[in-house]
């Protein structure tokens, strides 16, 4: 019998992907995998998590809710691997703090897997800096700090959600010829604006506003002080005649 390792994102929270029914999708996928006897490997992306100890939070602002997809797989007995990072959701991007977790069927199997993982890690980095990892450990092990972190992640996520709404509202009130519902339909730190590379170049040259040439906007960089200027600049470049 052929076995497959299913590689997927638990949620592409930071990339501006459309909203979806996380629980429904996860249940459908795990049911298929149980029938086919495949193994999942989840990459929950930058602000990710696979357990209650390291929830995401960037999608809804609710850390427990954002971790639900992976818990569905765990509750149904899948032996999965999960790659996760605390770079952005703890403000430790320069530390590159993260973890790779694997669920195994026995202590013997766990020891064998750990040995193989160490063989892979040793030639790459062997002994990484501990500063960021110790900070994460401290926060996750102390209930008061962990709850404070939950609250701060929620505040951050809700601010980004608000900026999405304001940006869309501004563009619609400017009588933009485009529809902008995709700005609020997406989730996470980034938004795919629909702007062309030419539009992006004009934003940089004429308005000193910068984004990647595929039109991806960093929503975390939008504030109540600059959202009006951004809206007007986007409106200007899309309405400007060639």
Tokens of 154: 């929620």
- 194 in helix, strand or coil? coil
Residue 31 — φ and ψ, nearest 5°? -65, -45
Instruction: Provide the pLDDT for residue 204.
Output: 97
Give the pLDDT mean for 194-202: 96
Instruction: Provide the pLDDT for residue 42.
Output: 47
- Is the entire prediction scored with pTM above 0.85? no
More reliable by pLDDT, 233 or 58: 233
Give the Cα separation of 64 and 57 in Å (integer).
Answer: 8
Instruction: Indicate the pLDDT class of residue 81, thresholds 50, 70 and 90.
Output: confident
pLDDT at 38 over 90: no
- Of the candidates 25, 31, 40, 53, the one whose C-alpha atom is nearest the C-alpha of residue 81 is 40
Q: Please, are residues 48 and 100 in contact by the beta-carbon 8 Å criterion?
A: no
Using CA atoms of 147, 148, 151, 155 in order, give the dihedral in degrees to the nearest 10.
-160
Summary mean pLDDT of the chain? 81
- 59 in helix, strand or coil? coil
pLDDT at 51 over 90: no
% of the chain surpassing 90 pLDDT: 45
DSSP state of 186: B
More reliable by pLDDT, 1 or 45: 1
Among 74-78, 138-142, 199-203, 223-227, name the one with the lowest average pLDDT.
74-78
More reliable by pLDDT, 96 or 18: 96
Q: Please, are residues 50 and 44 in contact by the beta-carbon 8 Å criterion?
A: yes
Which residues does 198 contact at the CB level (< 8 Å), separation at least 6? Answer: none
Instruction: Indicate the pLDDT class of residue 187, thresholds 50, 70 and 90.
Output: confident
Q: How many CB atoms lie within 10 A of CB 225?
A: 7
Strands in the chain per DSSP E: 5-8, 39-42, 81-85, 98-102, 190-192, 216-218
Instruction: Indicate the pLDDT class of residue 8, thresholds 50, 70 and 90.
Output: low
Q: Which domains does the chain have, with CATH numbers?
A: 5-141 (3.40.640.10), 150-239 (3.90.1150.10)
| H/E stretch holding 139 | helix 131-141
């Amino acid at each position: 019998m052929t076995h497959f390792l299913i590689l997927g994102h638990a949620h592409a929270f930071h990339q501006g992907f459309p909203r979806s029914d996380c629980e429904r999708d996860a249940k459908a996928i795990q049911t298929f995998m149980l029938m086919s006897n495949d193994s999942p490997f989840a990459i929950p992306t930058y602000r990710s998590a696979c357990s209650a100890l390291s929830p995401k939070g960037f999608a809804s602002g609710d850390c427990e809710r954002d971790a639900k997809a992976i818990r569905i797989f765990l509750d149904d007995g899948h032996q999965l691997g999960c790659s996760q990072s605390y770079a952005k959701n703890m403000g430790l991007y320069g530390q590159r703090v993260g973890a790779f977790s694997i669920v195994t069927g026995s202590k013997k199997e766990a020891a064998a897997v750990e040995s193989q993982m160490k063989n892979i890690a040793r030639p790459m980095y062997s002994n990484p800096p501990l500063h960021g990892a110790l900070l994460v450990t401290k926060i996750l092990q102390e209930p008061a700090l962990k709850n404070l972190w939950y609250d701060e992640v929620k505040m951050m996520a809700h601010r980004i959600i608000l900026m999405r709404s304001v940006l869309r509202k501004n563009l619609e009130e400017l009588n933009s010829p485009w529809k902008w519902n995709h700005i609020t339909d997406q989730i996470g730190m980034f938004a795919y604006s629909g702007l062309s590379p030419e539009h992006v170049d004009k934003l940089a040259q004429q308005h000193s506003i910068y984004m990647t040439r595929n039109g991806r906007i960093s929503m975390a960089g939008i504030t109540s002080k600059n959202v009006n200027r951004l809206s007007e600049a986007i409106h200007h470049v899309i309405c400007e005649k060639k």
